[in-house]
Amino acid sequence: MQLVREAVSIPVAVKLSPFFTSTAHFANELCRAGASGLVLFNRFYQPDIDIHKLDVLPRLHLFSSEDLALPLRWIAMLYGRIPADLALTSGVQNYEDAIKGLMAGASVTMMASELLKKGLFRIQELLEAMNLWLEEHEYDSIEQLQGSMSQLHVADPTAFERANYMKVLNAWRDDPTGVIL
């Protein structure tokens, strides 16, 4: 990373996979080595095997809103703790997902899967919906929104931590729909 940073004069962003055992430490080390942005999380191409034709098949698995949870959690925990812009690249399908990403602390949200499925006109629809939401909730800017629901700014910061796991399981036992009140 350091060699790349020294060789170029433009900002360097690093795409991360979710498979690191110490994501926060690794993110911090990348920043120390010169990364100015982190993209959470990259999905690797994963082919399938056709057991009848004995062939390897290319598979493109597009993201859905359900894929948003993991990067949302890590962005919320890293926001304000590392000196880098954070990009959310998994699961943004609608304006609500984009707003969640920004509230967690993302500087940008990406939505390739949604655009592949519905086309480029979707961008204008989402921007209009986001602007309407910002107006209705009395936000003056994206900057005011960004990080407002990060671990640093929520009433219960432990909600983003692994220790919260037991609370989630107990709540699920009480309401198996998964809705925690």
CA-wise closest residue to 86 among 41, 44, 118, 38: 38
Say yes or no: 116 and 48 in one domain. Answer: yes
Looking at the fold, whether 145 and 160 belong to one and the same domain comes out as no
Same domain, 92 and 177: no
pLDDT band, very low/low/confident/very high, at 61 (cuts 50, 70, 90):
confident
On whether both 56 and 6 belong to a single domain, the answer is yes
Residues 21, 90, single domain; the answer is: yes
Q: Are residues 162 and 143 in the same domain?
A: no
* DSSP for the chain, written as a single string: -HHHHHH-SS--EEEE-S--S-HHHHHHHHHHTT--EEEE-------EEETTTTEEE-------GGGGHHHHHHHHHHTTTSSSEEEE-S---SHHHHHHHHHHT-SEE--HHHHHHH-TTHHHHHHHHHHHHHHHTT---HHHHTTTTSTTTSS-GGGGSGGGHHHHHHHHHH-TT----
pLDDT of residue 53: 94
Tell the residue number behind the tokens 């080390």, with chain if given.
Answer: 29
Q: Tokens in use for 97?
A: 């997902």
d(CA 67, CA 107): 18
Of 15-24, 56-65, 85-94, 154-163, the least confident: 154-163
Average pLDDT (76-85) is 96
**pLDDT-based confidence at 86, cuts 50/70/90?**
very high
Q: How far is CA 74 from the centre of its chain?
A: 7
Q: Are residues 146 and 68 in the same domain?
A: yes
The answer on 102 and 34 residing in a single domain is yes
Tell me: do 23 and 52 sit in the same domain: yes
Tens of pLDDT, residue by residue over 14-48, are 999 888 888 999 999 999 999 999 999 877 778 89
The mean pLDDT value for 82-102 works out to: 95
Mean per-residue pLDDT for 86-107? Answer: 95
The answer, as to whether pTM is greater than 0.95, is no
Q: What is the pLDDT of residues 125-172, one digit of tens each?
A: 999 999 999 999 999 999 999 999 999 999 888 888 765 555 655 665
Q: Are residues 113 and 172 in the same domain?
A: no
Q: Are 181 and 92 contained in the same domain? A: no
**CATH at 8:** 3.20.20.70
Domain span at 84:
2-150
Are residues 17 and 80 both part of a single domain? yes
Quote the number of domains for the chain: 2
- Least confident residue range of 57-71, 105-119, 136-150: 57-71
